[in-house]
């Protein structure tokens, strides 16, 4: 295990003291959450495409529940007009990915339909 020294304010140090033993887990969770939604969604689609080739599996692809929850949160904020500028940009990037996924699924559907016609 590697030891890391970090300088923090006195007030943060006081808040961290009770959870000192949990700091590695807290940092891991923070790092996971720090990656943007679109980055996490792209990574999930890329991993899926790298390991799956069957058209039926492509059609069955769904985002993980945590990503879907974040997407729904942004969509709800968009509907209510409370979406911040950085969130709007994030939602746009996710929309780009969604267009790619729709095209991929359309192609998979076409391959399945052609297979049935033969």
Tell me the C-alpha distance between 60 and 45, whole Å: 12
Average pLDDT of the residues in 82-95 = 91
Q: Is the pLDDT of residue 118 over 60?
A: no
Label each residue of the chain as H, E or C: CCCCCCCCCHHHHHHHHHHHHHHHHHHHHHHHHHCCHHHHHHHHHHHHHHHCCCHHHHHHCCCCHHHHHHHHHHHHHHHHCCCCHHHHHHHHHHHHHHHHHHHHHHHHHHHHHHHHHC
Whether this prediction's pTM lies above 0.85 is answered by: no
Radius of gyration of the chain (CA): 20
pLDDT of 42: 80
Average pLDDT of the residues in 21-50 = 79
pLDDT confidence of 33, banded at 50, 70, 90?
low
Q: DSSP label at 54?
A: -
pLDDT digits (tens, 9 = 90+) for 41-81: 888 887 887 677 788 888 999 999 999 999 999 999 999 99
Least confident range of 15-24, 27-36, 60-69: 27-36
């Amino acid at each position: 295990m590697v030891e890391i020294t970090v300088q923090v304010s006195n007030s943060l140090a006081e808040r961290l003291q009770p959870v000192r033993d949990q700091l590695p887990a807290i940092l891991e969770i923070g790092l996971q959450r720090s990656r943007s939604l679109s980055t996490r969604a792209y990574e999930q689609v890329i991993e899926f495409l790298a390991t799956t080739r069957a058209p039926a599996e492509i059609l069955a692809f769904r985002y993980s529940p945590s990503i879907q929850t974040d997407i729904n949160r942004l969509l709800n904020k968009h509907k209510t007009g409370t979406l911040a500028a950085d969130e709007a940009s994030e939602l746009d990037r996710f929309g780009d990915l969604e267009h790619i996924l729709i095209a991929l699924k359309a192609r998979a559907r076409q391959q399945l339909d052609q297979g049935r016609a033969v």
